[in-house]
Chain A
Amino acid sequence: TSCEIQKSHKSSRQKKNQKQTHATGGDELPYEVQRAQEINRTFGPKGSPEAYDVIFDLHNTTSNMGCTLILESSKDSFNLQMMNYIKKAFAPASCLVLLNEHPHLKYSTSRSVAKHPVGLEVGPQPQGVLRSNIFQAMRVILKHALDFIELFNEGMEFPSCTVEVFRVLERIDYPRDANGNIIAMVHTNLQDCDWEPLNPGDPMFQTFDGQTVHYQGSGTVYPTFINEAAYYEKQQAFLTTRRETLVASAIRKA
């Protein structure tokens, strides 16, 4: 197999990660749509046998998510086995898996051009800043991922295993006024508490004049992407998830 390490640049307007389509375009298309089509030509075409086997998509987040692997399909045993390998190799440091298979909240990422898309999201880091600890963590995780691929290619069999994941449930937006302006901020109790349980009744938002808005869900959830800068414009203060254990089939190079 071959794999490609893919880096993408975020713009404040169109996001390439949202624009993978099969239509052809002309000069009038936004830059990121043109770029998505170039990527699809180079590393795809998406859905075809010629597509790359693996794409690693490297991202940062302003949220306190630590090292997170993002999985797009619960049935991708190859990816699940790789993520299992990475988690064990990275331990005792934490590397969690976020599964976004939600029919409405799932989005067409640049990495989805490949047969096995792997998102790597590391934070917290402000946009435009390079932190040494974040940089080193990402390098180490990528090294483990490439080690796995090399072992796989050498014929190693990976027996069936289980992987703990956090499955995306829903997007929670900020409280807003009639003009769409936010009227509250992520509460201090929730800020930086990615992956920690959020129970019904727990503080969730604080209004500018100091009132608390509480979480009204029916059960405990595990929030993530808490206060990500890029998601204000996408109407998302955080995502809720639930913990699940997935089973990965045994895999071996054919």
Chain B
Amino acid sequence: MEQTSFPPMSRVAICGGTHGNELTGVYVVREMQKQKVDKLGSASVTAVLANPRATDVCRRYIEKDLNRCFTDALLRSPITDSTPYELRRAQELNAQLGPKGSEEAVDLLIDLHNTTANMGLCLIFYSLDWITLHIYKYIQSKMTNVPVRAIQLDVPMSDAYSLESVGKHGFAIEVGPQPNGVLRADIFNAVKSAVDLTLTWLQEFSSGCTFEGGEVEAYTFAKHVDYPRDPAGEITAAVHPELQDKDFKLLRSGDPVFLMFSGETVTHEGEELYPFFVNECAYYEKNIAFQLARRTTFTLPSICLGN
């Protein structure tokens, strides 16, 4: 594959607290603000607390999940007295870090999240982007004590609903397992390393380094699965002990997925897939017990700074 060149990336945003109870991002951003991190070589770095009101009360959101407010339609919708707090905040963030899709948007936006699922460290991104995949490859090669994976959600940019879609390039760093409202030192240290490595990569890229191409493995979203529920909508089972904590372990037909409160086992049927976001607490209300992905190999070109 031919070498591909990219224009300089001079503006980077690191966001945390998009969900106010996912504490790693909150404290990484606060620490960056305290250390007054704002320059990296010739690039500017902004650390942003995305949802300050939810962070103050340690809740995921006040009225509406902020990380679902960044579709083109919602960003354009007029603000009225009854507009939820998070929709207003999304438009503020879009003005500060975007506008999404425009030349003025930050070059790279990284959004820090935690999950209650046993996912290790994941980079989550929308569409194939060599920059994001090279950063992933770089982080994966340097971080050896934590599993590092990439997940691609194939959503067109206009429908992209989450914060990182505001930047020209963007991805979420999702790390778990960590309960809401808890700050674990091992997770904090891992995320801080991943952010530092990303900024190091950017510096090397900006100074003219070429990053060799190669193959990387990533997971692509296939579908999600809800809990068994009764007619009133209450769950009637829990994730099976053999699936619990087994994110990214291949799920085969016949493997257990749910253990009913009454004692029966429900099994997976059909295509062999890789589960992730297994028992994420925020997804009970979104009717998701776990998500399933296929594993793909991407071939990256080598990249460097250019025009």
Contacts and interface: CB of A to CB of B under 8 A. Distances in A.
A135 B30 CA distance: 36
Contacts of A233: 58
B58 A129 contact: no
Interface in A191-236: 191, 206, 208-210, 227-230, 232-233
A12 B241 contact: no
Interface residues of A, number: 30
B177 interface: yes
Contacts of A133: 241, 244
Interface stretch (B78-86, B179-187, B198-206): B179-187
A230 B21 CA distance: 12
Interface residues of B, number: 31
B188 A185 contact: yes
A110 B141 CA distance: 52
A232 B238 contact: no
Given A131-B244, A229-B179, A208 B281 contact: no
A185 B191 CA distance: 14
Contacts of A181: 30
A118 to B, nearest CB: 23
A124 to B, nearest CB: 8
Contacts of B302: none
Interface in B125-179: 177-179
A188 B185 CA distance: 6
Contact of B27 (A187, A208, A227): A208
A131 B282 CA distance: 14
A233 B265 CA distance: 40
B281 A132 contact: no
A128 B177 contact: no
A126 B177 contact: yes
Interface string A12-38: 100000000000000000000000000
Contact of A132 (B27, B189, B238): B238
Contacts of B6: none
Contacts of A191: 184-186
A227 B182 contact: yes
B181 A129 contact: no
Contacts of B30: 181
27 contacts: A12-B59, A124-B179, A126-B177, A126-B178, A126-B281, A127-B179, A128-B284, A131-B239, A131-B279, A132-B239, A132-B240, A185-B27, A185-B184, A185-B188, A186-B184, A188-B185, A188-B186, A188-B189, A191-B184, A191-B185, A191-B186, A208-B27, A210-B189, A228-B182, A229-B180, A230-B181, A232-B58
Given A131-B244, A229-B179, A232-B181, 10 more contacts: A62-B182, A126-B180, A127-B180, A129-B179, A129-B281, A130-B279, A135-B261, A208-B188, A227-B184, A233-B58
Interface of B: 27, 30-31, 57-59, 116, 177-186, 188-189, 235, 238-241, 244, 259, 261, 279, 281-282, 284
